[in-house]
Structure 1
Amino acid sequence: MDKTKGISRAQFLAGSAAVGLAGAMLPAGQASATGGERGRGGLQHRGVVYTVGAGETPGTAWSAARMREDVRVIRDELHADTLDVTGDGVDRLTATAAEAAERGLHVWLQPTLGDVPEREILDSIAECGRFAERLRRQGASVDFSVGCEFWLFVPGIVPGATVLERVGNLQKGNVDMAQMQRRLARFTRKAAAVGRSVFHGRLSYAAAQDEEFEPVDWNLFDVVGIDYYSYFRQPADYVRELRRYLRWGKPLAITEFGTCTYLGAPESGGMGWNIVDHDKEPEEIKGDPVRSERTQAAYLVDLLEVFESMDLYAAMAFEFVTADAPHRPDSPRHDLDLASYSITKAIKDHPDDPASDWHWEPKEAFHAVARQYGRRARPAPRGDHG
């Protein structure tokens, strides 16, 4: 029985909106570099992030049947060769990873459990790592990431028992940053040691791209993992910024990248989602953003071309679907998909019913990524499903 618990999208976003710090909350980059480089091999792994949380309502809860069909689509229609399986709940994580492996996809398994005691988080890492090792020994292609941005999710690094309390303390300046970074380094070493003890393949971690805020000792890991949300007008500027992560002499994986679905979203970097008023019931879009699936698609293509040019190890678009941010074409004020990084749009059968069933439909970003991945796709084993 899976007894783990997670952090809801509303909790995370409502708390994080108060403080523009790291990872998915970084502001857009500013730079003006020239020049670039063209690699020969391109990306080694092209993927998408697939979150397996419990959902905020019964209608958005994880479903094994839905997951199996999504994984099929990701392989056969999106032409991804990698599935970044993330979220909380060991049962959900391992079932999804097993499905991806059975279909011949490269698996990037990353448990992200938060707001529970440190011991439970380490136990979750160990259990998922043991499963990843079983998949690897059975012949699957697997990378294991011990987690994501521990400063936010793990109690005891930043003061506060919950995400909301931790971001509140960060906002108010009630944090000794030197002490925070020492605690972060201590827990990261523990997590890496647990990962190494159970998994004998490539080990990684998904860090915020602000190295001053979240410095990571990448000697602990085999693959450098960065959640990347910068915006530049020129591709050479991305190249210049990303080069600094190569100084460790290790493969670089972009563990998240993407943008929201409105004009100007890429310029907002990782803060693009912050156009929702979470205090309203139901939640409402703030201001008058103009929906633009084309803007989202163009940004993803631009970033993928940069990653290909640099021959990076992996890039995982964030994310496949965000069930808790449904598209409302009938009500732009409640079209939460505007603030979603998802490459598909979730549509409820009954928009005003929180428990309503739903389906997803592809956005322009889905088709754009599918074209990019399809052009470079290597034939993959089709698994037992055919």
Structure 2
Amino acid sequence: MPKVAGINRAQFLAGLASAGLATAALPSAAARASEARRGLRHRGVVYTVGAGETPGTAFSTTRMRRDVRVIRDELHADTVDVTGDGVERLTATAAEAAERGLRVWLQPTLGDAPERDVLEHLAETGRFAERLRRQGAAVDLSVGCEFWLFVPGIIPGDTVLERIRNLLDGHVDPVAMQRRLDRFTAKAASVGRSVFRGRLSYAAAQDDRVDWRLFDIIGIDYYSYYTDSADYVRELRRHLRWGKPLAITEFGTCAYVGAPETAGMGWDVVDHDKHPEEIKGDLVRSERTQAEYLMRLLDAFSSLDLYAAMAFEFVTPDAPHRPGDPRHDLDMASYSLTKTIEDRPYDPTSGWRWEPKEAFHALARRYRSATPAGC
């Protein structure tokens, strides 16, 4: 997941490497023809089901059902990555997606909670995934996302931000950290296997060391930036050495000039200490930048004939678009394919709606033109 407040991802990945954990044009006609011939096996989008940061952005079953229909009928996705926390929210959304004929990639992500709670949350969600599978739904289960970041005890610190700071400040034993990560990943895989009989996966950061023998599908959150599209293919090929299907569990960028070059840190341009929160610097909004980056990555994914790619993400209610107010246009720092429009700006109880961005339309055209390659 790309959003972690107050940290530079380039520095963070450098910290991972030192700790021992790490090992732009529009698509051409030839690339589009290649995709039609081979294509992604499954084309999806991430749908987060969090509780919301304000009363106005709380989870709504009615809204979720409407969004799932749009994902199928207007975005032309065949897969929805249902992620976030709260078993009731996760299962309700997964059931709706399955009922609409979508493939479900179900990924519980309970963060900053004791290991026992994380595993119980996984087990309960996984049992529901197995019920859906037995009823004939197409379901894959991911046991979680980037455990070293979200699960306390692998890196010292009670919160995500504290763990990152400890890593960057060198307050980490890299050997012990990898050992704890391996232990928890194996434990999560075991819990997943105990409740779910379908294909199992995990969403790792692209430089993580993971024992992929534990899983059926390799899952990578991918946010690289290269000027040469061939470099995306070169980088992704190394994940194929396991001889297993590869799913891109997240990919995308934000809607401003220069966002792709941040390699997954595009969100880190908001001053959260200001009230209301402010965009730092003089960013230039550019929905085209976001759309072109997604299309470039899809070209690379399609040339590798990957199992799935899931764009991050469908909607981000807590990052509203405020036209005419660039300093407070938080949507610029969002990876969302849609922009959130408040009924009453700056009112935490306000209702809201979303409108599609250029990235939504570009992805919809690509997904609609792609020929399904089977299950």
Same fold per TM (> 0.5)? yes
Q: CA deviation at 1:41?
A: 2.3
Give the match for residue 162 of structure 1.
Answer: 159
Residue 123 of structure 2 corresponds to which residue in structure 1?
126
Counterpart of 1:32? none
More moved, 222-231 vs 262-271: 262-271
Q: Deviations over 1:319-350 (max 9, x none)?
A: 00011110011311000001110000001000
Report the CA distance between 1:22 and its aligned residue: 4.9
Amino acid at match of 2:231: D
Aligned residue in 2 for 1:107: 104
Shift of 1:258: 0.2
Q: Secondary structure at the match of 2:264?
A: helix
Could you tell me which runs of 5 or more consecutive residues in structure 2 were left unpaired when the two chains were aligned. 18-29
Asked if residue 369 in structure 1 is aligned to residue 366 in structure 2, the reply is no
Runs of 4+ in 1 over 2 A off after TM superposition: 12-23, 36-41, 377-380
Is residue 271 of structure 1 aligned with residue 265 of structure 2?
yes
1:231 corresponds to which residue?
Answer: 225
Partner SS for 2:4: helix
Q: Quick one: distance in 2 between partners of 1:257 and 1:338?
A: 16
Q: Tell me by how many angstroms 1:14 deviates.
A: 2.4
> Displacement, 1:19?
7.4
* Aligned residue number for residue 294 of structure 1: 288
Amino acid at match of 1:354: P
Count how many residue pairs are aligned between Structure 1 and Structure 2.
Answer: 358
The corresponding residue for 2:303 is: 309
Q: 1:203 to 1:22 in 2, by over 3 A?
A: farther
Aligned-pair CA distance for 1:164: 2.4
- 1:114 deviates by 1.1
- Contact 1:20–1:271 (Cα < 8 Å) also in 2: no
For 1:68, the equivalent position in structure 2 comes to: 65
Q: In structure 2, how many angstroms separate the alpha carbons of the residues matched to 1:163 and 1:277?
A: 18
The 1-side partners of 2:160 and 2:10 are apart by 12
- State whether residues 79 and 377 of structure 1, in contact with CA within 8 Å, keep that contact through their aligned partners in structure 2: no
Q: Does 1:345 align with 2:339?
A: yes
C-alpha distance in 2 between matches for 1:43 and 1:21: 31
Cα separation, 1, equivalents of 2:128 and 2:42: 21
Q: How does 1:51-90 map to 2 (within 5 A)?
A: 51-90=48-87
Match of 1:330, as an amino acid? G
- Kindly state the Cα deviation for residue 269 of structure 1 after the two structures are TM-superposed: 1.3
Distance of 1:368 and 1:352 partners within structure 2? 30
Q: In the alignment, residue 5 of structure 2 is paired with which amino acid? A: A
- How many Å apart are 1:173 and its aligned residue? 1.4
Q: Is residue 51–residue 59 contact of structure 2 (8 Å, CA) maintained in 1?
A: yes
Deviation at 1:16, TM superposition (A): 3.7
CA–CA distance in 1 between the matches of 2:159 and 2:97? 32
Native 8 Å contact 2:38 2:373 kept in 1: no
**2:147 matched residue in structure 1:** 150
Following the alignment from structure 2 to structure 1, what is the Cα–Cα distance between the partners of residues 373 and 72? 11
Question: Contact 2:269–2:333 (CA<8 Å) still a contact in 1?
Answer: yes
Structure 1 residues 75 and 101 mapped into 2: Cα distance closer, same or farther (>3 Å)?
A: same
Task: Assess if the C-alpha contact under 8 Å between 2:39 and 2:373 holds in 1.
Answer: no
8 Å contact kept, 1:22–1:208: no
Distance 2:71 2:113 in 1: 32
Shift of 1:201: 0.6
Distance (whole Å) between structure 2 residues aligned to residue 253 and residue 201 of structure 1: 15
Corresponding residue number in structure 2 for 1:209: 206
On the 8 A contact 1:19/1:167 being kept in 2, the answer is no
Q: Say whether residues 1:257 and 2:251 are aligned partners.
A: yes
Measured in 1, the distance between the counterparts of 2:371 and 2:45 equals 14
Counterpart CA distance in 1 for 2:79 and 2:290 is 21
Given the alignment of the two structures, is residue 320 of structure 1 paired with residue 309 of structure 2, yes or no?
A: no
User: Which residue number corresponds to residue 3 of structure 1?
Assistant: none
State the match for 2:94 in structure 1.
Answer: 97
Match of 2:41 in 1: 44
Distance in 1, Cα, partners of 2:7 & 2:100 = 36
Residue 14 (structure 1) aligned with residue 11 (structure 2): no
1:379 is displaced (CA, Å) by 11
Instruction: State the partner residue of 1:29.
Output: none
Q: Post-superposition shift, 1:17? A: 4.5
Equivalent position amino acid for 2:252 in 1: G
**Contact 1:208/1:226 (<8 A) preserved:** yes
For residues 372 and 284 of structure 1, the distance between their equivalents in structure 2, rounded to whole angstroms, comes to 34
Change (3 A) 1:154 1:78: same
Residue of structure 2 in register with 1:383 after alignment: none
Match of 2:195 among 194, 198, 201: 198
Is 1:18–1:167's contact at 8 Å kept on the other side of the alignment? no
Asked whether the equivalents of residues 262 and 289 of structure 1 are also in contact (C-alpha less than 8 Å), the reply is: yes
After superposition, give the CA deviation of every residue in 1:289-313 in whole Å (9 maximum; x if it has no partner): 1000011001101111111111000
- 2:237 is matched with 243
- TM-score when normalising by structure 2: 0.92
CA contact (8 A) 1:256 1:317 kept: yes
Identity %: 73
